[in-house]
Amino acid sequence: MGKERQQQCKTPERSNKDQGTRCMGTIVSNRAAGDENSRRRIVSFSSEEPYRRWFGMEILDHAGMAVDLERLNSVGVLLFNHDVDTVVGKVLRAWVEDNRGMAEVEFDTDADAEKIFAKVKSGTLKTTSVRYRIDTWEEVKVGATSADGRFTGPCQIARKWTPLEVSIVSVPADASVGVGRSDEEAPQESPDLSLYERQLQINKNHL
């Protein structure tokens, strides 16, 4: 079971550039301060941290109306390790704050949810992940600057994107290399990533 669940925290096939999965968020706080039994939690699930995908550096824009939160706010669910058969709660509300995707979630009371909730309360599980769909891209060439002047290429910026679900995850990937990239099949011709690594640091300094 462990291997199968870890594999679910990977980006889809390389041909599907417009879909992704990122393990990059955390469980921020207990909604009801001082009430350890509260089933509500505030979580972060996304940011503008650059990620290296098979096509280069990807940045999820959080400015203005870039993030479409309608789905999360209307039918959003909380999963465990992106398993659609393991729904452990619901998203009560989602919003963007300080260039991060945020949500208030509430755990269910069934056996599966109770097991995960117990591990959240104990601090064993503390990381979140988001599955998302990208509708509009901006490609920024090497040395060029994005249209809003916030990022320097090479990178590809998701200007319109939709979070599909939020998950509590057991084995997060290293945020510096992207979700699931450590065990993702490499392209047949691996590019020189030194330039991307340098640009990662540059973009971090801009944030």
pLDDT digits (tens, 9 = 90+) for 179-195: 222 333 333 333 344 44
State the pLDDT at residue 38: 86
State the pLDDT at residue 44: 92
Closest CA relative to residue 164, chosen from 89, 97, 74: 74
State the pLDDT at residue 184: 37
State the pLDDT at residue 54: 87
Closest CA relative to residue 92, chosen from 79, 77, 109, 112: 77
Those residues of the chain that have pLDDT short of 70 are: 1-15, 24, 29-36, 172-207
State the pLDDT at residue 203: 52
- Has this prediction a pTM greater than 0.85? no
Instruction: Write the Ramachandran bin of 62: left for phi over 0, alpha for psi from -120 to 50, otherwise beta.
Output: alpha
